[in-house]
Copies of this chain bind each other. A is one copy, B any other.
């Protein structure tokens, strides 16, 4: 998706450890018009896929998932970091390692919101080693639901998550795949 790639070229900040900060438009300040175009691009790719529900993870997946869901006319469920005392339902639970935060987090989905047989589209902002998506897949599997696809805004193609998910036969669609980050800038696949 060219508009997203251009925005990354223009405004992403590259930090040590190949971390890419896109918080001017994607995960702190949100360019809602750009995110709307992203939702449309996900719909174009998954137009023939029957989707019952979109699953994402708090916090930075929520805006993309919610706006994308308008194109699919389905509910969103976002996996929550464990800890709220309002939680009373029993939950599906998994542990996700965040390289960005350098920590493990337990994330949960209340059982009523993922059901056997449901066709789940996973949406998230970043894919690198694939920890978050694999955690979400684990939740989908625990519920005996089916993952019908994974839509990612920015995939770091030089890390292993994308290859691993595609080798599992998952329909993984990333709007921008970064091939390489050099001192000259960001190169896309």
Residues of A within 8 A of B (CB): 13, 15, 19, 21, 23-25, 28-33, 35-36, 58-59, 62-63, 65-67, 69-70, 73-78, 80, 83-86, 88, 100-102, 109-110, 112-113
Contacts and interface: CB of A to CB of B under 8 A. Distances in A.
B66 A35 contact: yes
**Nearest 8 pairs between A and B by C-beta?**
A58-B59, A63-B66, A30-B76, A59-B59, A32-B69, A62-B62, A29-B113, A29-B77
A74 B83 CA distance: 32
Given A28-B109, A31-B75, A59-B78, 8 more contacts: A13-B88, A19-B86, A23-B113, A24-B112, A29-B110, A63-B66, A83-B101, A85-B100
A140 to B, nearest CB: 15
Contacts of A25: 75
